[in-house]
């Protein structure tokens, strides 16, 4: 059996920058990672960054996904061991719940039979809104799993539930769902300056 294929969906959240570290950890864990970004995700992190860390081309449009006669989103959907969406905005959660397919990520979500793991990131009021909670419940009844969100200080300045789960937690859950070894660094340590001599 070859390396698991993880489709990493990145959506338009301020937490999108953490997707770079998620991709890196998944690759280090032995997965083949293919990144699919929404147009809004590209406002927060570049496809080039994700391509470099995933070691594969990044899909941002239907044209990017087209490599041969077979539609690209179908090819990726067929190859996926897992579809991981991190970060997942309230908008993409709603699109997933209601079967909307307006971009390559949601098209892949409809076409794949791989498990779906979602790592939400949004304002706490958006997370707690009855519409979002109804969408989450609906997705869970279809077998989707969620990692996070966590409580803490949010990018909008509020404190509450809505922060993206840690990179390590997301990567470990994804690798475990694929049956890959979860050798991921648990703590995100700040860089330290070297002592001057």
Catalytically annotated residues: 156
Q: What is the dihedral of CA 127, 150, 141, 116, to 10 degrees?
A: 110
Pairing of strands 150-153, 145-146: unpaired
The H or E element spanning position 10 is strand 5-10
The tokens for 54 are 């995933």
The rounded distance, in Å, linking the Cα atoms of 168 and 185 is 6
């Amino acid at each position: 059996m070859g390396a698991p294929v993880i489709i990493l969906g990145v959506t338009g959240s301020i937490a999108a920058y953490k997707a770079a570290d998620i991709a890196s950890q998944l690759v280090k864990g032995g997965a083949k990672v293919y990144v699919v970004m929404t147009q809004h995700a590209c406002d927060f992190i570049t496809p080039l960054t994700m391509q470099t860390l995933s070691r594969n081309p990044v899909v941002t449009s239907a044209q990017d996904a087209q490599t041969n006669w077979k539609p690209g989103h179908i090819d990726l959907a067929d190859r996926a061991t897992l579809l991981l969406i991190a970060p997942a905005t309230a908008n993409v959660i709603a699109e997933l719940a209601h079967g909307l397919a307006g971009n390559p990520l949601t098209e892949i979500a409809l076409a794949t039979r791989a498990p779906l793991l979602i790592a939400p990131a949004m304002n706490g009021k958006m997370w707690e809104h009855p519409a979002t909670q109804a969408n989450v419940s609906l997705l869970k009844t279809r077998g989707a799993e969620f990692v996070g969100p966590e409580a803490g200080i949010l990018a909008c300045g509020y404190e509450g539930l809505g922060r993206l789960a840690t990179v390590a937690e997301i990567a470990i859950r994804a690798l475990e769902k694929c049956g890959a070894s979860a050798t991921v660094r648990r703590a995100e340590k700040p860089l330290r300056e070297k002592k001057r001599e």
